Structure 1
Amino acid sequence: MFLSRDTEVIGANSQADCHTYAVIDAMQRSDISVLLNAYDTEWSCLWKGDSEQQFAFYAPYIVKLEENSPFADWLLSNSWGKGWGIYLRSYGSLEVVTHHLRKFNQIYDEVNGQWLMFRYYAPVSIKTLLPFLPAKEFIEFTDGLTQILSEDPEDNTLLVI
């Protein structure tokens, strides 16, 4: 087998960091962009260009959560049960996961012939839409994600996909 010099074989003793991200819906917490700037945390808006600037108080944001960070502590103690968004686990960097998720911000409505915003980061979407996607779309959406966690909007329990 030939390996390039940039290739690393991951063995049983290798450590690969799985990251935790929160996708927060500013429609549920409109000042989230202001709060993210106040905390020392890695984050990105899931809209870009003019949409990011014009609709900052309505856009979804992805935030890398670090163990025992002030932002993670604040988020976990203030958001549960309020439908602010979802949590993801991935081995991908913030940039990689952001790029992946941006592909799903809009979906095409073939019946009406128009593009629609897809709020996949809403807990109700995770419960009612994601499990029922056709296999191809489900695989495409979850590519690179190891877990999706959300509150169940009906009974405040944890959903794990």
Structure 2
Amino acid sequence: MGFVEELKSGNFSLYGQYWSLLSGVLLIVLGAVTLIAHVVYSILAIVFGAICFVIEFSWILKICPTSPWFDRAVEKLKNHWLRFAFYLVFAAVMWSSLAKGGGVLAIGAATITVAAACYLVAAIKNQASKSIGFLSPTSVARAGGNSYMGMV
């Protein structure tokens, strides 16, 4: 399934993955940009961004050394309700950065809030969990690392 078909699918778990991917990128970039001005929130943003990638793309656990405890915790987050709660906590922490003047970090907070909302809708609708086509383990393995984002 391609990007356009995934957007037309109506599956909010796919939308949540896309928003989480965008959030991960933005949190890491914005955390790095604001590192000097807002040390604590910037470090949290970078950590949250990295965790977004690990949660959404479980094949990353195969290439990164992690503890069995961490692996079990990530496996439990396959549930839409738990992902919603997890991302909602991330969003609340990032929104609280506004109280300390971390204005640009609100962009990451907004995107992770949308990701949480997508997982909430997926949980309410009891939708099946699906993986983004170009970053699923089978697409990555099939591409063999020789193509850009699974597209030949």
TM exceeding 0.5: no
Q: TM-score under structure 1 normalisation?
A: 0.29
Q: TM-score under structure 2 normalisation?
A: 0.31
Higher-strand-fraction structure: 1
More RCO (CA 8 Å, sep 6+): 2
Q: Which structure: larger Rg?
A: 1
